[in-house]
Amino acid sequence: MRSEKPRQIAARVLRLHAEGAGYLEDLLDHAQAAALSPPDRALAQELCFGVVRWQATLDWLIAQKTAGRPQKTPLQILLRLGLYQLFWLDRIPDHAAVNETVELAKEFGCGNQSGFINAVLRGCLREREATEQRLADLRTRHPALGHSHPDWLCDRWRNLWGDENLRRLMEWNNTPPPTYARLNTLRGTAEQLTAQWREEGVEFEPRQFDWTADGLVFELKSHPSLATLPSFQQGWFYIQDPSTLLAVRELDPQPGQAVLDLCAAPGGKTTYIAQLMNNQGTLMAQDTQIARRELIRENCARLGVTCAQLARPTTSLYAELSTPYDRILVDAPCTNTGVMRRRVDLRWRLRPEEIARMATAQVELLRDAATQLKPGGVLVYSTCSLEPEENQTVVQTLLAGQPALRLERERQLTPFADSVDGAYVARLTRTA
């Protein structure tokens, strides 16, 4: 049956993910290579992302119903999948969620456990009101478990921002993100783009932030597959969260300047820099991840960027970058804790020691970048991390050994204060 297909895909992807076969998004993309209809694709994604987001809470609920007995991985996944549909998705009828989860058991080698799955799911349904109350109580009594986040990370965030902002941040991370589009002025105007969208059946709403120009950012409310839209294929817009635009605005690249985008893949900031330069000047895009460099090339070609060139891949970041630059952007690799709602399985992959390891690498990256900056030039450091050790502390460590650099300003964007993904941006200048 057609309605079963998304659940079959979701169950298979979730099992592969639990076995460590790859990142969730990549596994889902691969599983959907055989074309699904847009509604089926959306349901499969919702099931995969939702189960992984709420994994800790789902496992707590399963433990409540099974006297804490550990279940084998395939069975645990099916129980998570069934309970997620019953208690987190309103649009799926209860009987369909139960029956189709039981049917999936046969495909997953758990046919002899079909009765057990049926009993657990129907038992929760019979006690729906009491179960929902227990889940609500859990969010108050044990917020990390109730909102399905690691304890260690919640303890950090509570110490930084307090209980209320912690709650708001966890709720943000558990909410599917909207889709934002940035206008590409190298192709046309906002009026031209929105007229094209109306013809293509795209529903949109203009959005503005204190660091974005009027008519630059749009939230896409409803749309056909983006890859099929002529406006996308012709490079009229780029999908990009507004938080990522702050770093380029602080960089303030001008036409005719020499600009280096040091960690450039996949090219969102690169193409926005070129847009502000009006394709005039020299823009060097560098990234050590050779597999992702092709994304920079593809995005530049689609968006009509002609002033950018790719630095040749090398084991040394700067072997090919001997020219001093007016502007340098270092959008550094980080723990990504500010974009956790987009990196669905990140909360379960991240370990506390990663923060210190990343910070060390970030300082070295900035020290190398500073050697490429002209006197009077601007160096912008940015991350999508919420952790001070990767942000303010990194900048202070850099400044302690670089007397020629001066911090002009810095800003931390947080979901609970700014209603965008988390990001940190620091603007530094070289005095001599």
Q: Which residues are catalytic?
A: 384
Cα 285 to Cα 265: distance, rounded to the nearest angstrom: 8
Q: What are phi and psi of 75, to 5 degrees?
A: -70, -40
Counting every residue written for the chain, the total comes to 432
Amino acid in the structure at residue 285: A
Cα 19 to Cα 15: distance, rounded to the nearest angstrom: 6
Q: Which residue has the tokens 């966890």?
A: 170
Beta-carbon contacts of residue 211 (< 8 Å; ≥ 6 apart): 242, 245, 246, 249
Cα 314 to Cα 324: distance, rounded to the nearest angstrom: 19
Sheet holding 217-222, edge to edge: 203-207, 217-222, 179-183, 237-239
Beta-carbon contacts of residue 87 (< 8 Å; ≥ 6 apart): 61, 124, 131, 132, 135
